[in-house]
Structure 1
Amino acid sequence: MLGSEHIRFFYDSFDIGIYFRESGWILASALPRSELPFGYPPLAQLLFGTMRLVANGVLGPSESAFARVWVGIAAALLVLAVAWTLWVTPSTRWRSLAVWVTPAALYFALYRFDLFPAIATLAAYYLIRENRLLAGSLVLGLAIALKGYALYLLPALYYYIAANRGHKAAISALLLAIAPLFASVAGFLVFAGVEETLKPFGA
């Protein structure tokens, strides 16, 4: 039987606490590399670190301050994402709204970092649909660098662009789509070393 510490209520700061601890590197550049608690891809680490700096500057260095800033920024971003989705999907806006306001969507948007790669993925889809293929590929690359699930969209990206623009354009799009991941990994290789940088990838 699960203990009470595993029961999640509407407000759940468990993962936000992990992000807080993961972001400590940005305040302790002199910390020995072996002690850096990297468990997320490098671009996600940069997101956590940025949130940590904002929280420190606005509310203070505590974990509760970080949590309040995180939820506040996530809520604002969620509102903007919903408004943008309704604007770009006028014919299906009520169905789009229904998806955004489901309990699961609200829960994960506020208390997980998944909102950020999800918005990047949606933005990439919109840009590609608007025939802004290179911009869409680059934004998809941000989603990939934040959370690897978007890698599974690369075959569809290649097929779509190859069918409409040819294989050369499709290859260029793929290179753009993986560029943010490789750039962020390269940056953290310099800062944290090979072992810590590759830890999120199971290496």
Structure 2
Amino acid sequence: MKVPLLDLKLQYASLKKELDEALIKVAESQYFILGPEVEKLEKSLASYLGVKHAVGVSSGTDALLLALMAIDIRPGDEVIVPTFSFFATAGVVSRINAVPVFTDIDPVTFNIDPADLERKITPRTMSHAPWVPALCGLPNPMVVWPMITLGRSFTSWAARMAFEPRRVWRRRARGDERR
């Protein structure tokens, strides 16, 4: 019996017309990177998220790398990652010479176990902010509960606190170092 690793037939069928039209549009325009479709997506995402800018990247790996750079993770910083995730979750941490610190997973949600997370935090753990991916269609309660109970204002606040790009870029422009 052959079990597919990832079967997207049902999802594709429900969006077939829109996906096929978009693919043909890109193939005909020859804008495989950047171009008007990416610009439209970025503007749409920025509007939806209520931010000035959104940046499209070529992969989830690049998105993770950009996120680490945006929050100013530096060589030697510890970043807490789950043991059960796509390899890029820890790979991008190593790529910028930071240290991935692996946490156990919760056997029910398959996400980071909050008790193990607490044990792994050290003074070198950057911002005490772990990567918290949602896996297997089960969002991590560590992220979902505060969003549900505190609403969008909490989500916006958390995003601003986690990604302080103006502070980071101003400091870098002045030549200031964190250490």
Same fold (TM over 0.5): no
TM-score, length-scaled by structure 1: 0.25
Higher share of residues assigned helix: 1
